[in-house]
Amino acid sequence: MIQACPALLVAAPASGQGKTTVVAALARLHARQGRRVRVFKCGPDFLDPQIHAMAAGSPCENIDFRMCGEADAHWRLARAAQNADLILVEGVMGLHDGEPSAAELARRLGLPVLLVLDASAMAGSFGAVAWGLKHYRAEQGGGAPITMALANRVGSDYHAQLCRDSLSPDIAWCGALPRDADAAMPERHLGLLPAAEIADLAQRIERMADALAATPAAELPPAVEFAVASAPTLEPLLAGKTIAVARDAAFCFHYPANLECLEALGARLAFFSPLADAQLPTCDAVWLPGGYPELHGPALAANTGIAAALRAHVEAGKPLLAECGGMMACFDSLHTVDGERHAGFGLLPGSSHMQKKLAGLGMIAVDLPEGRIAGHTFHYSRSETPLTPLCHATRADGRESEAVYRQQRLTASYMHFYFPSNPGATAALLRA
């Protein structure tokens, strides 16, 4: 069975060209016309999807052949196509960067590419860059299915016209966005700020959507055919179990697919805030995902009630999974990049220290006693502990990566786990 739906993969020659802004503006522009928009993000990003979810009014899922698998991407896109009026997929890094690159993802998923180019320092070269990216290594079976181009950060209507006139006949003009510092997305060390921290995010997105309203971007792109595939059938291995999931400004890195996977396994999710709640919900297991605990050190240290509740949970032999920021908060202390020390939850001996230098980045997988789970790592801190690792994750080339620690049923690592990569192992991690 085939399901057709207008769709685009939005890519750029490099990071920082404005892909996220353009995708969010497109999503908002079409959503406010009454269209049902579904957005996907290539790669393991947590932050861009939060912005897209707000812009589109629906969750933004991740696509990555290494972490999620190609079959996972195909069925999620096909599922979205059954109810959506438009599918937007934001690429990662530059169009031809990574393995597989956004260009290869577009070819294998059958998605036409909308190329976003920062035109602030070019005019006639706009078309040359677009043509080169479209035909790069085409004779070796490469290239990219670029069908449209959009000029970002233009200085005037005349500047936009120069860019438009430079395009080759096989690349259509999709419009332009002006230079607008007030609409730019603020950033910090892990990328864009979380959506909840950008007070005027909706206004920024609306501002860019307004700028695209009178351009060809306001029209739906051609439909793409998706082969309908069934979602994986999961056994209810967590039926009757309640998983307490930390969710607030300090712990905000959740893949929608992870939450969906837990519910498909039969679990009931109970959300709580380690910043605000003094007690855990009644639960069988706890999941502390990543986020920014280092930015909320005083508040976390002051909440001695939740620390005591987490300690009691672990001492009772119940499962707790702590990922990246979640693990950092579990140590005895947490140190900011300026050297300030804050008490952690005291579940693991040791300390975490923020630093200005990147400490971990990349796709990884780990062979736990429960099974192999894929995921990724991205952090600017280092942790010191006397604990002996249970095991280490590995990169695709076999190199050793992040340590995984275990005390009783507490499992902790800098690794962010992608639960759908092995639902059975995930259930075993969180099942009492």
Q: What is the residue extent of each domain of the chain?
A: 2-227, 242-430
Q: Write a three-state SS string for the chain.
A: CEEEEEEEEEECCCCCCCHHHHHHHHHHHHHCCCCCEEEEEECCCCHHHHHHHHHHCCCCEEECCCCCCHHHHHHHHHHHHCCCCEEEEECCCCCCCCCCCHHHHHHHHCCCEEEEEECCCCCCHHHHHHHHHHHCCHHHCCCCCEEEEEEEEECCHHHHHHHHHHCCCCCEEEEEEECCHHHCCCEECCEECCHHHCCCHHHHHHHHHHHHCCCHHHCCCCEEEEECCCCCCCCCCCCCCEEEEECCCCCCECCHHHHHHHHHCCCEEEEECCCCCCCCCCCCEEEECECCHHHHHHHHHHCHHHHHHHHHHHHCCCCEEEECHHHHHHEEEEECCCCCEEECCCCEEEEEEECCCCCEEEEEEEEECCEEEEEEEEECEEEECCCCCCEEEECCCCCEEEEEEEECCEEEECCEECHHHCHHHHHHHHCC
In angstroms, rounded to a whole number, what is the distance separating the alpha carbons of residues 136 and 349?
52
- Is 242-430 the same fold as 2-227? yes
CATH class belonging to 242-430: alpha beta
**Distance of alpha carbon 35 from alpha carbon 278, whole angstroms:** 42
Tell me, yes or no, if 324 is annotated catalytic. Answer: yes
Exposed, middle or buried, 67 (CB in 10 Å: 0-12/13-18/19+)? buried
CATH of domain 2-227: 3.40.50.300
- 15, amino acid identity: S
Q: Which of 18, 19, 24 is nearest to 203 (CA)?
A: 24
Which residues, 6 or more positions from 166, have their beta carbon under 8 angstroms from its beta carbon? 123, 124, 125, 126, 127, 128
* Residue 286 structure tokens: 């706890």
Find, among 424, 414, 235, the residue nearest to 321 by Cα.
414
- What pTM does this model have? 0.92
- Tens digit of pLDDT at every position of the chain (432 positions): 788 999 999 999 999 899 999 999 999 999 999 999 999 999 998 989 999 999 999 999 999 998 999 999 999 999 999 999 999 999 999 999 988 899 999 999 999 999 999 999 999 999 999 999 999 988 777 789 999 999 999 999 999 999 999 999 999 999 999 887 665 666 655 566 676 777 778 888 999 899 999 899 999 999 999 988 878 889 999 999 999 999 999 999 999 999 999 999 999 999 999 999 999 999 999 999 999 999 999 999 999 999 999 999 999 999 999 999 999 999 999 999 988 999 999 999 999 999 999 989 999 999 999 999 999 999 999 999 999 999 999 998 999 999 999 999 999 999 999 999 999 999 999 997
Residue 364: CB partners within 8 Å, gap ≥ 6?
A: 374, 375, 376, 377, 393, 394, 395, 401, 402, 415
Catalytic residue (one of 68, 163, 261, 324): 324
